[in-house]
Structure 1
Amino acid sequence: MTAAPPLTWLYAPGDRPQVVAKALTSGADVVIVDLEDAVAPDRKAYARDATADLLGDPPPVPVHVRVNALDSPWAEPDIGALAEAPGLSGLRLPKVTSAAGITHIAHRTTAALYALLESALAVEQAYAVATAHPNLRGIALGEADLRADLGVRDDTGLDWSRSRVVVAARAAGLPPPAQSVHPDIRDLEGLAASCARGRVLGFLGRAAIHPRQLPVIERAYLPTGDEIERAETVLKAAAAEQGAQALPDGRFVDAAVVAAARRTLSLAGRR
């Protein structure tokens, strides 16, 4: 059985080390230390230095760092200070619009890279970005900026862009994208409904901005008891015979169905 993929990514502002420390014990699969939107310009240098100190040794959970936008004056110092930090698990690159942005960074670090697509142009370039370099390990949307760029009036206006990014990731052989953050930390019911919609679209897991959102995201993306039972039935049938076959309940089992069942059971181990 393959290891279960991460389902929760928790953002914490890089200029508040005490908040980062709490995030590391929150239960999130990955902590994202944010040097970009969460940090005011006059705090950028402090946030960078504090994050470099944090990553001098491997932390208890994987830590990614969202650096500043590549066309900003802070991006180069961010990458120079953090790209080879012993405790760094990944660099998240905001506002990527082309493959060139990825290759530029990939030549400077061996860290895993994750591209955030936050504009109409970026969505149009999703597959090119996703295949830019072997060190790119994932793509995702930055929906706040994308919503503003597109001028959409409600959440459904982003569904095409969401599907575009899911398809691009799959075509490039990358893991399914995680959903963008749900900005209202009190709206847990809305978060759950949004996660259910994201799961339908092919996302896997979600970024969060508060620890209270983590259990809602995990519950939404964990397989149900019925899904686990169905997956186990598929794998038992596949072990008994070779090739495609039909189960007694009429479901057709082939290699693709077996692969999906294995993914379900890899997640089931988290329950």
Structure 2
Amino acid sequence: MSATPRAFPLGPSLLFCPADRPERYAKAADRADAVILDLEDAVAPEAKAAARGHLVDTPLDPARTIVRINPLDTAEGRLDLAALRQTPYRTIMVAKAESPDAIEAHPGFDIIALCETARGVLAAPALARLHNVVALMWGAEDLVASLGGTSSRHADGAYRAVAMHARSQVLLAAGAYGKAAIDAVYIDIPDLDGLAAEAADAVASGFAATACIHPSQVAAIRAAYVPSPEQVNAAHDLLNAAAAAGTGVFAYQGRMIDGPILKHARETLRRAALPN
């Protein structure tokens, strides 16, 4: 039986902020549920040393801060870890995570393994079972690049089949070992309707949080992860009907209701932080 995923205290909206832009740190932290200070893709190679200095010199609340570091098997990744040891930050996102042995060698950190290469996606179950891994995230663009592809999405914005497979693989691996799963960023910043639809799908599928790249995206993500009053009322009504029925399976509003459907309702109430 799969483990019940842990609650993810940093979600649901996780906003990336380039680590070489310290003037944006506090603003990003104020806008989202947690900020991801990015030492990897958001920082040009020539600016990485300065970014590490800013990371040390510009403190944020460590309980609401994640630091994305460069891959562990690179010189930049090792320098990132050295800088982190001068800070109170202990939640890190490891870019292009592929090796369970490399991740396990850093027990002093709570690690979000970012599965964004073909090897990383295939290694997702082995990464999820590690004690120091608290969550898995996946990334579409780096994944497709690692395959020699040119685009993760079709012209209509829908993910290509390989990206959907990777998304599902990471979600299943996280769920199998009781870890949170974080959905990938939505890179079409003005398309808030598309983001809202994708975040709603993430919630319904079992993701614990969604990462984003612009403050304007935070509200759409938060709205998706908080059940509407109508959803909360429907969940309460269903659970009350189950209590009245007093049987394992019963009919309700034309649907067959059993244990898994009741778990869906309880999850809705958990997300709304209401007693259930």
SS at match of 2:71: coil
Q: Corresponding residue for 1:186?
A: 190
Does structure 2 conserve the Cα–Cα contact (< 8 Å) formed by 1:237 and 1:247? no
SS at match of 1:185: coil
Cα distance between partner residues in 2 of 1:211 and 1:218:
12
**Aligned-residue RMSD, C-alpha:** 2.6
Cα deviation, residue 60, structure 1: 8.0
- Taking the TM superposition and a 5 Å limit, the aligned residue runs for 1:143-154 are 143-150=140-147, 151=149, 153=151, 154=153
Q: Which amino acid is 1:173 matched to?
A: G
Q: Does 1:224 align with 2:225?
A: no
SS at match of 1:147: helix
Cα deviation, residue 266, structure 1: 2.3
* Deviations 1:81-131 (CA, angstroms, capped at 9, x unpaired): 214733x2511001011211211222xx2x211000111111111101111
Q: Does 1:41 align with 2:48?
A: no
- Taking the TM superposition and a 5 Å limit, the aligned residue runs for 1:41-190 are 41-55=45-59, 59=61, 62-83=64-85, 85-86=87-88, 88-106=89-107, 109=108, 111-131=109-129, 133-150=130-147, 151=149, 153=151, 154=153, 155-157=159-161, 158-175=163-180, 177-190=181-194
Cα distance between partner residues in 2 of 1:112 and 1:125:
18
Distance 1:13 1:258, change over 3 A: same
Distance 1:36 1:204, change over 3 A: same
Question: Please, which moves more after superposition, 150-159 or 166-175?
Answer: 150-159
Q: Corresponding residue for 1:9?
A: 14
Q: Corresponding residue for 2:3?
A: none
Distance 1:97 1:243, change over 3 A: farther
Cα distance between partner residues in 2 of 1:230 and 1:206:
25
Cα deviation, residue 23, structure 1: 0.6
- Taking the TM superposition and a 5 Å limit, the aligned residue runs for 1:238-249 are 244-246=248-250, 248-249=252-253
Does structure 2 conserve the Cα–Cα contact (< 8 Å) formed by 1:62 and 1:89? no
Cα distance between partner residues in 1 of 2:114 and 2:173:
13
Distance 1:152 1:251, change over 3 A: farther
**TM-score with structure 2 setting the length:** 0.83
Cα deviation, residue 258, structure 1: 3.9
Cα deviation, residue 268, structure 1: 1.8
Cα distance between partner residues in 2 of 1:152 and 1:40:
22
Cα deviation, residue 194, structure 1: 2.7
SS at match of 1:178: strand
Does structure 1 conserve the Cα–Cα contact (< 8 Å) formed by 2:135 and 2:182? no
Cα deviation, residue 229, structure 1: 1.8
Cα distance between partner residues in 2 of 1:11 and 1:214:
11
Cα distance between partner residues in 1 of 2:246 and 2:131:
34
Does structure 1 conserve the Cα–Cα contact (< 8 Å) formed by 2:56 and 2:86? no
Cα distance between partner residues in 2 of 1:180 and 1:248:
36
Distance 1:112 1:61, change over 3 A: closer
Question: Please, which moves more after superposition, 69-78 or 28-37?
Answer: 69-78
SS at match of 1:95: coil
Percent pairwise identity:
36
Distance 1:200 1:179, change over 3 A: same
* Deviations 1:233-261 (CA, angstroms, capped at 9, x unpaired): 3443566687724264344242x444432
**TM-score with structure 1 setting the length:** 0.85
Cα deviation, residue 162, structure 1: 0.9
Question: Please, which moves more after superposition, 258-267 or 237-246?
Answer: 237-246
Q: Which amino acid is 1:192 matched to?
A: A
Q: Corresponding residue for 2:202?
A: 198
Cα distance between partner residues in 2 of 1:70 and 1:252:
47
